[in-house]
Amino acid sequence: MLKISYQILMKKICYVTSCGGHLTEVLEYSKQLKKYDYFFVINQKKDISYVKKKFYIVSHSTFDLKFFLVLYQAYKILKIEKPDLIISTGASLAVQFFLLAKILKIKNIFIESLTRVNELSRTGKIIKLLTKNFFVQTITLKKKYNLKIIDPFI
């Protein structure tokens, strides 16, 4: 189970993810925290209204000049929604959100994708520098990088 020590002060969660596998993982974790208000931010123009929650779509950027556009979009979303916690399982847009979380002092949790077995993702390597709450889902990565592990089969 995803244990969060911020529960007393937490009212709203921002889930930052791309569609596909990252979203699937986030949806599994969101089931454990469904008593909180939450919303999603994705980086692809897809209809995810089936999640029955508010969602925002930001531009797609893979560490290119659009990085700054996504940073601006992320700032606007965070100012409007004022989340108490940001959770992500990856995709490049997480970098902008975790950078702003550090500046705006928003608590955050990054969970490296279950598909990452031998190496951290590029996003993970960057976010590892931005958060103390970095989790992996495989024993290999836990041992290799001396990181905290979270059970992917909650």
pLDDT on residue 153: 58
Spans of all domains in the chain: 12-149
Across the chain, which has 154 residues, the per-10-residue mean pLDDT values are 53 86 70 81 74 82 87 97 93 93 96 88 94 93 92 62
pLDDT on residue 102: 96
- On whether the pTM is more than 0.75, the answer is yes
Q: Would you say 92 and 56 are in contact if contact means Cβ atoms under 8 Å apart?
A: no
pLDDT on residue 9: 61
Q: What CATH number was assigned to the domain covering residues 12-149?
A: 3.40.50.2000
Cα–Cα distance between 66 and 6 in angstroms, integer? 32
pLDDT on residue 16: 92
Contacts of 55 (CB under 8 A, 6+ apart): 39, 40, 41, 42, 48, 49
pLDDT on residue 1: 44
pLDDT on residue 97: 97
